[in-house]
């Protein structure tokens, strides 16, 4: 963990008195954000939750008994009005993924850079704490393993560059003004249900499962030996809840600055290994027999390392967070339609 927390210097260090916390989630209708809202509601039903989303890639427009507010983080005035009263902001709204950012570079800049600056500026003006994931994409090819967040930044694509700019701006805004947790987040997988709606994303594992259910060949980009670390969306959401708990304590103590955590699992399988797992489980659980085929890799800027271990000791020690989900069990659930 990179720890640069310091006592607040430009607003006093008396701390923030919080009776009933108010937590805001941007991107609340999306893959991760909707799960985060559910986890907050279940863990802390007495907390106030502000849920925001502009509808781009959103999969739900209501969670529980309240509607998600239609707010675009690029509109600073509208954003600040919506966030008013927040003690902690979980900033999850983003143009995520390499392909989406390459296809929409201007939008990616406006949302991931300008929008993030707007959120961080709100936190600096009000002293609200901030949660922000900046993705493994900021590292490019990791220099050593296990991966830690203090490694040099050398993004290989536009997505990674925009997230790096967000990381750097939050470090600058947080200094002396508010506490922030920055998360080096690994590759997501899994699905979840919000009020009866299945919420997912075509990540590698989900992509393979959907192809298997359709009886289609599982296509693996060459060479297939490239490894990735995979972490379930539910585990990631729970990490942000743990983060909010710690941030509330830091607010009360008047602390400011950034802490950085690695969020991953101990499962760093090769892409071919993932495909083989999905093929085996599909045959065992559903009697579906599919092939696995190597195909030409269309991506130039992609990490090709054959191991992808990540050191999550900081999140374990400071946030009391340990991943609970496993790839094999999740693939079984996905293939059996028994998502909880």
CATH number at residue 255: 3.40.50.720
Task: Say yes or no: 250 and 111 in one domain.
Answer: yes
Residue 78's nearest CA partner among 87, 69, 86 is 69
Is 98 part of any domain?
A: yes
Is 130 part of any domain?
A: yes
Is 315 part of any domain?
A: no
Domain with 173 in it:
2-189+232-263
Task: Say yes or no: 124 and 200 in one domain.
Answer: no
Mean pLDDT of 198-207: 90
Mean pLDDT of 108-125: 98
Mean pLDDT of 137-163: 92
Task: Say yes or no: 214 and 154 in one domain.
Answer: no
H helical segments located in the chain:
33-43, 76-83, 98-103, 105-109, 116-126, 158-174, 204-213, 233-252, 271-286, 313-319, 327-336
Is 316 part of any domain?
A: no
Task: Say yes or no: 100 and 147 in one domain.
Answer: yes
Q: What is the pLDDT confidence band of residue 335, given thresholds at 50, 70 and 90?
A: confident
The predicted pLDDT at position 49 comes to: 97
pLDDT exceeds cutoff 50 at 10: no
Is 75 part of any domain?
A: yes
Residue 221 belongs to a domain with what CATH number? 3.90.25.10
Number of domains present in the structure of the chain: 2
Is 319 part of any domain?
A: no
pLDDT exceeds cutoff 60 at 2: no
Higher pLDDT, 305 or 288: 288
pTM summary value: 0.91
Task: Say yes or no: 302 and 154 in one domain.
Answer: no
Is 104 part of any domain?
A: yes
Task: Say yes or no: 141 and 198 in one domain.
Answer: no
Mean pLDDT of 215-235: 93
Task: Say yes or no: 40 and 168 in one domain.
Answer: yes
The kind and range of the H/E element at 26 are: strand 22-26
Q: What is the pLDDT confidence band of residue 304, given thresholds at 50, 70 and 90?
A: confident
Task: Say yes or no: 129 and 197 in one domain.
Answer: no
Task: Say yes or no: 149 and 218 in one domain.
Answer: no
Range of lowest pLDDT (20-24, 84-88, 329-333): 329-333
Instruction: Give helix 204-213 / helix 327-336 axis angle, nearest 10°.
Output: 40
Spatial neighbors of 315 by CB under 8 A, at least 6 apart, are 1, 239, 242, 261, 262, 263, 321
Place of tokens 């966030």: 83
The predicted pLDDT at position 3 comes to: 53
The predicted pLDDT at position 337 comes to: 63
Task: Say yes or no: 88 and 178 in one domain.
Answer: yes
pLDDT digits 0-9 by tens, 229-269: 999 999 999 999 999 999 999 999 999 999 999 999 999 89
Task: Say yes or no: 197 and 236 in one domain.
Answer: no
CA dihedral 327, 332, 333, 336 (to 10 degrees): 160
Are the CB atoms for 169 and 147 separated by under 8 Å? no
pLDDT digits 0-9 by tens, 21-49: 999 999 999 999 999 999 999 999 999 99
Is 160 part of any domain?
A: yes
Task: Say yes or no: 152 and 251 in one domain.
Answer: yes
pLDDT exceeds cutoff 80 at 1: no
The predicted pLDDT at position 8 comes to: 42
Q: DSSP string spanning 230-280?
A: EEEHHHHHHHHHHHHHHHHHHHHTTEEEEEEEEE--S---BHHHHHHHHHH
């Amino acid at each position: 963990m990179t720890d640069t927390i310091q006592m607040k210097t430009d607003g006093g260090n008396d701390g923030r008195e919080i009776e009933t916390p108010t937590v805001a989630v941007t991107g609340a209708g999306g893959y991760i954000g909707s799960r985060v809202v559910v986890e907050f509601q279940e863990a802390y039903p007495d907390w106030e939750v502000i849920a925001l989303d502009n509808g781009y890639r959103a999969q739900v427009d209501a969670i529980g008994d309240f509607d998600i507010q239609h707010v675009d983080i690029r509109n600073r005035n509208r954003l600040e009005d919506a966030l008013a009263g927040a003690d902690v902001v979980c900033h999850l709204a983003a143009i995520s993924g390499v392909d989406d950012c390459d296809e929409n570079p201007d939008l990616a800049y406006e949302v991931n850079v300008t929008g993030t600056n707007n959120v961080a500026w709100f936190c600096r003006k009000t002293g609200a704490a901030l949660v922000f994931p900046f993705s493994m994409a900021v590292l490019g090819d990791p220099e050593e393993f296990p991966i830690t967040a203090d490694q040099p930044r050398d993004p290989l694509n536009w997505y990674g560059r925009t997230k790096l700019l967000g990381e750097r701006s939050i470090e600058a805004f947080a200094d002396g003004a508010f506490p922030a947790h920055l998360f080096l987040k690994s590759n997501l997988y899994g699905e979840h249900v919000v009020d009866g709606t299945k919420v997912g994303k075509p990540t590698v594992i989900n992509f393979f499962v959907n192809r298997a259910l359709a009886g289609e060949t599982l296509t693996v980009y060459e060479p297939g030996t490239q490894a990735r670390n995979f972490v379930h969306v539910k585990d990631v959401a729970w990490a942000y809840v743990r983060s909010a708990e710690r941030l509330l304590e830091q607010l009360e103590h008047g602390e400011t600055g950034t802490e950085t955590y690695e969020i991953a699992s101990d499962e760093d399988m090769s892409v071919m290994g993932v495909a083989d797992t999905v093929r085996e489980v599909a045959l065992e659980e559903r009697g579906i027999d599919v092939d696995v085929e190597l195909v030409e890799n269309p991506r130039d800027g992609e990490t090709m390392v054959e191991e992808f271990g990540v050191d999550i000791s900081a999140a374990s020690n400071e946030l009391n967070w340990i991943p609970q989900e496993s790839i094999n069990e999740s693939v079984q659930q996905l293939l059996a339609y028994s998502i909880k």
